[in-house]
Amino acid sequence: KAGVTQTPRYLIKTRGQQVTLSCSPISGHRSVSWYQQTPGQGLQFLFEYFSETQRNKGNFPGRFSGRQFSNSRSEMNVSTLELGDSALYLCASSLATGTYEQYFGPGTRLTVT
């Protein structure tokens, strides 16, 4: 069974641009969560989606948004990029919310210059 897939793996953007990251969960998984990982702030929760509905949102500005499609694939968007948005963005999927077994993708490394 294929794991969680994230595309692209690496991305370089300029300050002020916007970016869209994609996450394909494991087949059959309906819950997707996103995290931002930086050396300074560590791992921080961004969003949680289940059956196309956002169930939880972390403490991030409105420039960070996300959505989930009917096939459970998820995207997150960051508008008006800032240098501080440079990070590894991780996606995780699970069968259903609260089932405890989450599987993480390899992440998308975003660099903002």
Partner 1 sequence: GDSVTQMEGPVTLSEEAFLTINCTYTATGYPSLFWYVQYPGEGLQLLLKATKADDKGSNKGFEATYRKETTSFHLEKGSVQVSDSAVYFCALSRYNTDKLIFGTGTRLQVFP
Listed in sequence order, the residues at least 6 apart from 62 whose beta carbon sits closer than 8 Å to its beta carbon are: none
Quote helix, strand, coil % in the chain, to nearest 5: 5, 55, 45
Identify the DSSP state of 52: T
**Count, residues near partner 1 per rule CB under 8 A:** 26
Residue 10 touching partner 1 (CB under 8 A): no
- Among positive and negative, which fits the CA dihedral 44, 46, 51, 55? positive
Mapped onto helix, strand or coil, the DSSP state of residue 60 is coil
N-terminal to C-terminal alpha carbon distance within the chain? 37
Q: Which is nearer to partner 1, 15 or 30 (CB)?
A: 30
Residue 100 touching partner 1 (CB under 8 A): yes
- Select the residue interacting with partner 1 from 24, 31, 72, 74 (CB under 8 A): 31
- Select the residue interacting with partner 1 from 35, 64, 76, 112 (CB under 8 A): 35
Residue 8 touching partner 1 (CB under 8 A): no
Residue 43 touching partner 1 (CB under 8 A): yes
Q: Which positions lie near partner 1, rule CB under 8 A?
A: 4, 31, 33, 35, 42-45, 48, 50, 55-56, 58, 90, 92, 94, 97-98, 100-107
